[in-house]
Amino acid sequence: MARPKSFDPDDALEQAMAVFWEKGYEAASVADLTGRMGINRFSLYDTFGDKRALYLAALDRYIERATGAALDALRSPDATLEDLEAWLVGALEQCDDERRCMVLRGAVEAGPGDAEVAERVEEAKSRVRNYFESIISREQGRGRVRAGVDPALASWGLYALHVGLSALGASGVAASRAVVAEQIAALRGGDF
């Protein structure tokens, strides 16, 4: 009969996610992970498989959080450009020098050769861009976005802006707020 676990796997995964978010996959050692998770190597391997399987589970958790509940305001059929701007600014304010977007970090570290990570990253990017595009389209229908704006291209532009500004970390947050505001104003027809 298997012994019951003396730790909460969900809490342990949460701690592993924090390590991968701060250090990335390559720099996170098994000792870093087990130390933060409060478990031994055997428990890590028995519960999660290997370091890679743990990373993929942590990435899935991060993506669900980043593109799930965090985007509730953008999923609403009543979401506005103001909601989109608030989400973009809020996402930037969560950046610091240690923790950048885990999806971005995963894409950079894994490169195009890691199909499992690439698939997760692409799905997350598509979900966020789709929310952006829906809001821009609806707001255009309400007359709040210039008629000449292509919602698909605008959503790509805002997503690229989000990724680029997120990569700057805490050092770019103050200027980033102004850049986001200018991009939203441009959708409405404002000048840069």
**Residue range 124-150: average pLDDT?**
93
Confidence of residue 125 (pLDDT cuts 50, 70, 90): confident
Handedness of CA 64, 67, 68, 69 (dihedral sign): positive
Q: Confidence band (pLDDT; 50, 70, 90) for 191?
A: very low
| Burial class for 174, CB neighbours closer than 10 Å (0-12, 13-18, 19+) | exposed
For residue 162, pLDDT beyond 90: no
Report, as an integer, the average pLDDT of 98-123. 76
CA dist 60 and 186 (Å) reads 34
44-48, 164-168, 184-188: range with lowest mean pLDDT: 164-168
* Higher per-residue confidence, 161 vs 109: 161
What pLDDT score does 89 carry? 83
Alpha carbon 187 to chain centroid, angstroms: 23
pLDDT at residue number 104: 73
Sign of CA dihedral 25, 120, 95, 163: positive
Lowest mean pLDDT of 94-98, 100-104, 128-132, name the range.
94-98
Q: How far apart are the first and last CA of the chain?
A: 67
Q: Which residue has the higher pLDDT, 44 or 7?
A: 44
Q: What is the mean pLDDT of residues 74-83?
A: 90
> Would you say residue 5 has pLDDT above 70?
no
pLDDT given for residue 70 in this prediction: 66
Percent of the chain with pLDDT over 90: 44
Domains, the chain, ranges and CATH? 1-65 (1.10.10.60), 68-192 (1.10.357.10)
